[in-house]
């Protein structure tokens, strides 16, 4: 028997719609879901490698309990019953000694997040946190400070834009299929691309204008652009008058930031800045200054992200076709979203969070996500209180939080570490128990509320039965809750039960998803009236250049520009990091096909710097920071600024069971210092300096 | 040549290699063989812009295929109905003569089976009315497959548009 299952990919967190062809119970091919406009069968390389994840013999196949020292690699296989009993007993003893708050749960936001949040509420812990802040916490805060919405609530109309401006947003490598497809088509129809990055990526090679900016000076560029746009009256005056508060304050603030000043700072000529500002002004409001994807580079990250959003506001491009839009939910058409387990009556925890988010110490980051990189210090200093257990669900503190040695030291203080994962991640290897989750092809998941111009809902549907002794996440959490005596908050046995319960208020049923993989609440794009109807959620109901959120917390809306930190020694380079199209963060380096394409991460170093150091292309080198020293290979290139060096994130795995990726390349997190944007909440991943020397 | 033509519009290509992975996955291949390959050339500076070129290398399905002539067992065959060149794994003895004969390096070695694998334009998919896997998954739609008269005039249309657009440019 053959059938096509419409589902959702999960090789990365984008969750593109896919179609799995199943023959005699086996998945034989995956393509993009042909029913979804803008996808039309297409996939990225990671999505195309899905079957090699499914059939991988180097993934976790059964629950495992640690026997030797942590990280020593001595394990025994366990039944689910035994593993659950082991965890429940230890969690109970941690909770009875230190309270529910001594348990932290870290995960990458996903469709099951409402379930783990419910678990944490049920044990009376405030310490559910996600990976989000590590990626883009400051962007989230920046978006809220200006519009009242978070970044996932704002979309980009790639298909109709006339000009896309990217600040290091390497969209053709760190790719989302639909935007890539839509914007490729837009470029074919004449849309322009401006790309700004100290490193020339593939995206740079597709741009009409490429600026190899000095690293860390994007904010200087933006202050100057705002200076030009205001001085030359290039902004959308009617839109600004209607929808912006604090314009006059901004105008006065950017007055001294001339293009000539910014030219010296950024390395971009004043004439080019003026030409660019004039060009985008002609194209407004069909202009998008992309606010970014991973936004965790510098200590003033929130202010760079705010400046990008303010440029959009000046172009009148927020809630404009060809610009950006506020995503519309089912409520816009009088319909209801799927409910979540967190909608239930749950215990309300009175404790503050481990990361102090929401307290005067750290008022602005989103408490829905917390700030993950505060975890090591919170554990080590027992500040604000002791943390004794960590549940890591698709989240790897060892490779995602800067300063791995320090993170490992913190983990050593914990009484219990449990990892729920598909792969042998580095944190799985350092855990006490590993619980193997079924892959996205082997499980159903909670519905995905896909808000946008046309609100829709997607469903991950199970394509094949589990190949190994693995379980879907929602069932794993339910099993654990049951052992902890908390079953009442988890009213389901199987994921399908859960989905049925979640769909009840929507009027849709599971079978409605069978034909196309999604259901639509409406078939018409919803744009709010640009003259009267944009519902900004700030206190003023407008875009707040002068932000109540920031000012009320005691932070300025427009801080004076500060030049990026210089290296401590002249022979050091700023370390910058990024992604390639063939890998997702830290999770695909061991995939058979993706590993074959990109198996390690060389260090990009400019030709000029390499010549000075006597380093040639492909030469083994030693890279060292204050935190770590490791061997890599040099990629000598003219396509990076001489002040910085670059490495791909996600390599340097230390798990022998994941043999293809074991000890290949280096992990950026090992070199980095754990520095945070204290206002916005992101880490500053580009604030570490390294030395490079040939390996002798 | 086969009656088909695969056109790679490299201006739209982003070198992501989804095509290459889908190709390997369709034949469930181990590490090693690449029946299709995407080669990235560059970047190099052209003025202030870094430029890259991409070459997609599936099998060209030659009119007079040296691999077929070289094959001693008859495993390598040209399908009479459409000119696609396929290798029959039941007949291939793994002698590698085709690999030596092909000027393009198209026949690939499968270390698991000890036989040759190659791009067969996904003829099984074509027979079901589908496109080859590489074409289907391409995120930018830069691959086109069909008979030559079905291939869109992408390049001439683009050139024409650029000429007209240049005339209208304000700056």
Mark yes or no for CB contact B16/A44 under 8 Å: yes
Residue identified by tokens 């947003």 is A169
The mean per-residue pLDDT over the stretch A348-373 comes to 97
Mark yes or no for CB contact A42/B14 under 8 Å: no
Q: How far apart are CA A619 and CA A602, in angstroms?
A: 10
Cβ–Cβ contacts within 10 Å for residue A81, how many?
A: 11
What CATH architecture applies to the domain A158-322? 3-Layer(aba) Sandwich (3.40)
pLDDT in tens, A621-643: 999 999 999 999 999 999 999 99
Radius of gyration of chain A (CA): 25
Confidence (pLDDT) at B168: 47
* Element housing A417 (H / E): strand A416-421
3-state secondary structure of A414: coil
Mark yes or no for CB contact A43/B12 under 8 Å: no
A490, A340 Cβ separation under 8 angstroms: no
Residues in B whose CB is inside 8 Å of some CB of A read 12, 14-18, 20-22, 24-26, 28, 30-31, 42-43, 45, 48-52, 131, 133, 136-142, 158, 161, 165, 170-171
A189, A313 Cβ separation under 8 angstroms: no
Chain B contacts of A42, Cβ < 8 Å?
A: 18, 136-139, 141
**A424: its two tokens:** 């042998």
Return phi, psi of residue A62, to 5°. Answer: -160, 155
pLDDT in tens, A102-121: 999 999 999 999 999 999 99
* Element housing B42 (H / E): strand B37-46
Does residue A367 have a pLDDT over 80?
yes
Task: Give how far the C-alpha of residue A118 lies from the chain's centroid of Cα atoms, to the nearest Å.
Answer: 22
With b for 16 or more beta-carbon neighbours within 10 A and e for fewer, the A332-369 pattern comes to: beebebbbbbeeeeeeebeebbbbbbbeeebbbbbbeb
Confidence (pLDDT) at A600: 97
Our CA-based measurement puts residue A136 at a distance from the nearest CA of chain B, in whole angstroms, of: 24
Radius of gyration of chain B (CA): 18
Residue B131 neighbours by CB under 8 Å, 6+ apart: A41, B122, B125, B145
Among A661, A654, A469, A657, smallest CA distance to A584 is for A661
**Positions of chain B with pLDDT under 70:** 1, 165-171
Confidence (pLDDT) at B2: 87
Mark yes or no for CB contact B50/A200 under 8 Å: yes
Our CA-based measurement puts residue B161 at a distance from the nearest CA of chain A, in whole angstroms, of: 9
* Cis amide linkage into residue B43, ω under 30° from 0: yes
Please name the member of A45, A172, A282 whose beta carbon is closest to the beta carbon of B170. Answer: A282
pLDDT in tens, A122-181: 999 999 999 999 999 999 999 999 999 999 999 999 999 999 999 999 999 999 999 999
Among A35, A199, A205, A271, pick the best mutation site for testing chain B contact (most B Cβ within 10 A): A205
Residue A552 neighbours by CB under 8 Å, 6+ apart: none
Confidence (pLDDT) at B170: 40
Mark yes or no for CB contact A597/B17 under 8 Å: yes
Does residue A322 have a pLDDT over 90?
yes
- Nearest 10 degrees: Cα torsion A397, A398, A402, A408: 110
Residue A614 neighbours by CB under 8 Å, 6+ apart: A694
Confidence (pLDDT) at A18: 98
pLDDT in tens, A642-666: 999 999 999 999 999 999 999 999 9
Please, which residues bridge with residue A28 across strands? Answer: none
Residue A86: left (phi > 0), alpha (psi -120 to 50), or beta?
alpha
Mark yes or no for CB contact B42/A44 under 8 Å: no
Helices A218-231, A270-283: axis angle to 10 degrees equals 60
Please name the member of B22, B31, B49 whose beta carbon is closest to the beta carbon of A592. Answer: B31
Chain A contacts of B17, Cβ < 8 Å?
A: 45, 581-582, 597
**How many separate helices (H) and strands (E) can be counted in chain A?**
23, 27
Spell out the domain ranges in chain A.
64-134+335-520, 158-322, 573-694
Confidence (pLDDT) at A48: 98
Tell me the domains of chain B and their CATH numbers. 5-164 (3.30.70.20)
3-state secondary structure of A234: coil
A494, A502 Cβ separation under 8 angstroms: no
* Cis amide linkage into residue A285, ω under 30° from 0: yes
Chain A contacts of B9, Cβ < 8 Å?
A: none
Cβ–Cβ contacts within 10 Å for residue B168, how many?
A: 7
A329, A455 Cβ separation under 8 angstroms: yes
Per DSSP, the residues of chain B read --S-EEEE-TTT-----HHHHHHHHHTT--SS--SSEEEEEEEEEETTEEEEEEEEE-----SS-HHHHH-SSS-EEE-TTT--EEE-TTT-----HHHHH-TT--SEEETTTTEEE---TTHHHHHTTPPPHHHHH-TT--EEEE-GGGS--HHHHHHHHHHHHHHH---
What is the percent of chain A with per-residue pLDDT over 70, rounded to a whole number? 100
The fold adopted by the segment(s) A573-694 is: Barwin-like endoglucanases (2.40.40)
Mark yes or no for CB contact A202/B141 under 8 Å: no
pLDDT-derived band at A210 (thresholds 50, 70, 90) equals very high
The mean per-residue pLDDT over the stretch A600-605 comes to 98
Chain A contacts of B133, Cβ < 8 Å?
A: 29, 31
Residue identified by tokens 């000598």 is A636
The mean per-residue pLDDT over the stretch A527-546 comes to 97
A447, A499 Cβ separation under 8 angstroms: yes
The mean per-residue pLDDT over the stretch A287-309 comes to 97
Q: How far apart are CA B96 and CA B114, in angstroms?
A: 10
Confidence (pLDDT) at B1: 67
Cβ–Cβ contacts within 10 Å for residue B47, how many?
A: 7
Confidence (pLDDT) at B153: 87
The mean per-residue pLDDT over the stretch A275-293 comes to 98
3-state secondary structure of A598: coil
Please name the member of B15, B24, B139 whose beta carbon is closest to the beta carbon of A181. Answer: B139
The mean per-residue pLDDT over the stretch A673-684 comes to 98
Q: For all residues of chain A together, what is the average pLDDT?
A: 98
A538, A189 Cβ separation under 8 angstroms: no
Q: How far apart are CA A652 and CA A664, in angstroms?
A: 5
Among A558, A550, A682, A543, smallest CA distance to A223 is for A558
Confidence (pLDDT) at A568: 84
Mark yes or no for CB contact B28/A181 under 8 Å: no
Q: Does domain A64-134+335-520 have CATH number 3.40.50.300?
A: no
């Amino acid at each position: 028997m053959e059938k096509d299952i419409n589902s959702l990919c999960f090789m990365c967190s984008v969750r593109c719609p896919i179609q799995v062809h199943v023959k005699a119970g086996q998945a034989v091919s995956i393509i993009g879901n042909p029913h979804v406009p803008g996808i039309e069968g297409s996939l990225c390389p990671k999505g195309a490698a899905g079957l090699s994840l499914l059939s991988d013999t180097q993934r976790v196949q059964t629950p495992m309990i640690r026997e030797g020292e942590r990280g020593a690699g001595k394990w025994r296989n366990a039944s689910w019953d035994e593993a659950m009993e082991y965890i429940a007993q230890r969690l109970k003893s941690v909770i009875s000694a230190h309270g529910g708050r001594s348990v932290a749960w870290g995960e990458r936001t996903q469709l099951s997040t409402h379930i783990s949040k419910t678990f944490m509420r049920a044990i009376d812990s405030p310490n559910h946190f996600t990976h989000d802040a590590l990626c883009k916490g400051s962007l989230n805060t920046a978006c809220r400070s200006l519009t009242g919405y978070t970044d996932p609530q704002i979309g980009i109309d790639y298909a109709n834009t006339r000009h896309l401006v990217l600040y290091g947003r390497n969209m053709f490598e760190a790719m989302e299929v639909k935007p890539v497809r839509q914007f490729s088509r837009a470029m074919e129809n004449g849309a322009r691309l401006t790309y700004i990055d100290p490193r020339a990526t593939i995206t740079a090679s597709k741009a009409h204008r490429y600026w190899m900016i000095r690293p860390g000076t994007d904010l200087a560029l933006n202050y100057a652009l705002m200076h030009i746009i205001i001085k030359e009256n290039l902004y959308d005056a009617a839109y600004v008058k209607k929808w912006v508060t604090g314009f006059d304050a901004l105008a006065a603030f950017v007055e001294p930031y001339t293009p000539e000043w910014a030219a010296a700072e950024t390395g971009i000529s004043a004439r080019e800045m003026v030409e660019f500002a004039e060009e985008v002004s002609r194209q407004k409001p069909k202009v998008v200054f992309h606010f970014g994807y991973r936004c965790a580079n510098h200590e003033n990250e929130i202010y760079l992200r705010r400046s990008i959003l303010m440029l959009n506001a000046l172009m009148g491009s927020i809630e404009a076709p060809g610009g950006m839009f506020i995503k519309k939910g089912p409520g816009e058409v009088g319909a209801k979203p799927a409910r979540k387990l967190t909608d239930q009556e749950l215990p309300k925890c009175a404790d503050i969070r481990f990361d102090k988010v929401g307290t005067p110490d750290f008022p602005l980051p989103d408490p829905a996500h917390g700030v993950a990189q505060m975890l090591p210090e919170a554990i080590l200093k027992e500040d604000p209180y002791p943390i004794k257990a960590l549940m890591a669900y698709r989240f790897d503190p060892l490779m995602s939080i800067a300063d791995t040695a320090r993170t490992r030291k913190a983990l050593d203080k914990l009484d219990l570490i449990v990892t729920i994962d598909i792969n042998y991640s580095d944190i799985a290897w350092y855990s006490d128990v590993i619980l193997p989750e079924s892959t996205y092809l082997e499980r159903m998941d909670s519905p995905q509320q896909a808000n946008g111009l046309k609100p829709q809902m997607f469903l991950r549907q199970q394509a094949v039965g589990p190949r190994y002794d693995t379980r879907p996440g929602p069932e794993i959490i339910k099993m654990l809750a049951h052992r902890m005596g908390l079953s009442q908050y988890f009213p389901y046995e199987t994921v399908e039960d859960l989905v049925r319960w979640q769909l009840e208020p929507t009027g849709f049923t599971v079978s409605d998803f069978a034909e196309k993989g999604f259901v639509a609440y409406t078939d018409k794009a919803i744009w709010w009236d640009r003259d009267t109807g944009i519902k900004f959620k700030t206190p003023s109901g407008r875009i707040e250049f002068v932000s109540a959120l920031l000012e009320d917390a005691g932070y300025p809306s427009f801080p004076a520009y500060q030049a990026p930190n210089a290296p401590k020694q002249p022979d050091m380079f700023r370390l910058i990091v990024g992604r390639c199209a063939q890998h997702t963060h830290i999770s695909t380096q061991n995939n058979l096909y993706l590993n074959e394409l990109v198996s390690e991460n060389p260090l990009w170093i400019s030709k000029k710097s390499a010549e000075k150091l006597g380093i040639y292309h492909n030469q083994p080198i030693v890279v060292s920071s204050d935190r770590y020293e490791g061997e890599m290979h040099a990629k000598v290139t003219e396509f990076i600024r001489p002040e910085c060096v670059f490495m791909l994130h996600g390599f340097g795995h230390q798990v022998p069971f994941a043999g293809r990726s074991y000890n290949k390349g280096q992990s950026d997190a090992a070199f980095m210092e754990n520095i945070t944007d204290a206002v916005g909440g992101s880490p500053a991943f580009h604030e570490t300096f390294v030395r490079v020397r040939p390996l002798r | 040549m086969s009656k088909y033509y695969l056109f790679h519009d490299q201006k739209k290509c982003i070198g992501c290699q989804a095509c290459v992975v889908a190709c390997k996955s369709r034949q469930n291949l181990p590490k090693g063989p690449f029946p299709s390959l995407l080669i990235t050339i560059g970047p190099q500076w052209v003025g202030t812009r870094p430029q890259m070129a991409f070459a997609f290398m599936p099998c060209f399905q030659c009119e007079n295929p040296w691999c077929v002539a070289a094959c001693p067992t008859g495993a390598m065959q040209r399908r009479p109905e459409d000119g696609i060149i396929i290798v029959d794994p039941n007949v291939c003895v793994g002698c590698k003569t085709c690999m030596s004969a092909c000027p393009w390096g198209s026949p690939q070695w499968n270390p698991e089976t000890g036989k040759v694998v190659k791009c067969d334009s996904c003829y099984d998919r074509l027979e079901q009315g589908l496109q080859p896997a590489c074409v289907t998954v391409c995120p930018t739609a830069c691959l086109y497959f069909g008979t030559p008269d079905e291939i869109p005039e992408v390049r001439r249309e683009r050139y024409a548009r650029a000429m007209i657009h240049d005339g209208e440019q304000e700056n």
